[in-house]
Amino acid sequence: MSVNCNLVTGELCSDRCIYDTGAGANVLNRFQRKLIRNFRPCQGNVVGAGGRIVGAIVGEGTITVLGQEMPAYYGPVLPKSVFSIGVFTRDFGFEVWFKGSLCITWIPKHLVSKDRRDYKAIPIGEDTLYDIPPNWFD
């Protein structure tokens, strides 16, 4: 199994969590391991801007983001954790809009009060990536 995402080999491992329009799955590094539930071993590769990282994925499970449980892979040595906008939108009904320097994520109505819509907005970072804040995770 191989997962496409915005990772570059040679970066230092950090606790950054980024939103990625090109990622095929959510992939968490060792800094976010505590978020993974129902963990089970699996093996896989990561394909990113810097090439293929063979054997980078060693497990899978579920995580809860903005109240929604969703699948995630675990790659402890990856430089950052990557969250797939495709998984959020295609698989779980979130809407993601880019407006100016903001990335706006609309939360599906079934996760919030039925009579209103709720959203979270994150500003673009200096490196043109969108960092997901820790308060998104349950």
| Residue boundaries of the structural domains of the chain | 2-127
Q: With cut-offs at 50, 70 and 90, classify the pLDDT of residue 9.
A: low
Q: pLDDT digits over 39-67, tens only? A: 999 999 998 777 788 899 999 999 999 99
- What pTM value is reported for the model? 0.91
The residue whose two tokens read 């599906």 is 108
Cβ-in-10-Å burial (0-12, 13-18, 19+) of 92 comes to middle
The residue whose two tokens read 């990282």 is 53
> What is the rounded distance in angstroms from the CA atom of residue 101 to the CA atom of residue 123?
6
pLDDT at 31 > cutoff 80: yes
pLDDT attached to residue 5? 78
Structure tokens at 100: 């100016």
The values of phi and psi at residue 59, to 5°, are -165, 170
Q: What is the mean pLDDT of residues 5-19?
A: 80
Q: Are 55 and 33 in contact (CB under 8 A)?
A: no
> What does CATH list as the number for 2-127?
2.40.70
The values of phi and psi at residue 128, to 5°, are 65, 25
E-assigned strand segments in 8-138: 17-20, 27-28, 37-48, 51-65, 68-74, 81-84, 95-99, 102-107, 118-123, 130-131
Q: pLDDT digits over 80-128, tens only? A: 999 999 999 999 999 999 999 999 999 998 888 767 778 999 999 988 9
> What is the rounded distance in angstroms from the CA atom of residue 5 to the CA atom of residue 20?
7
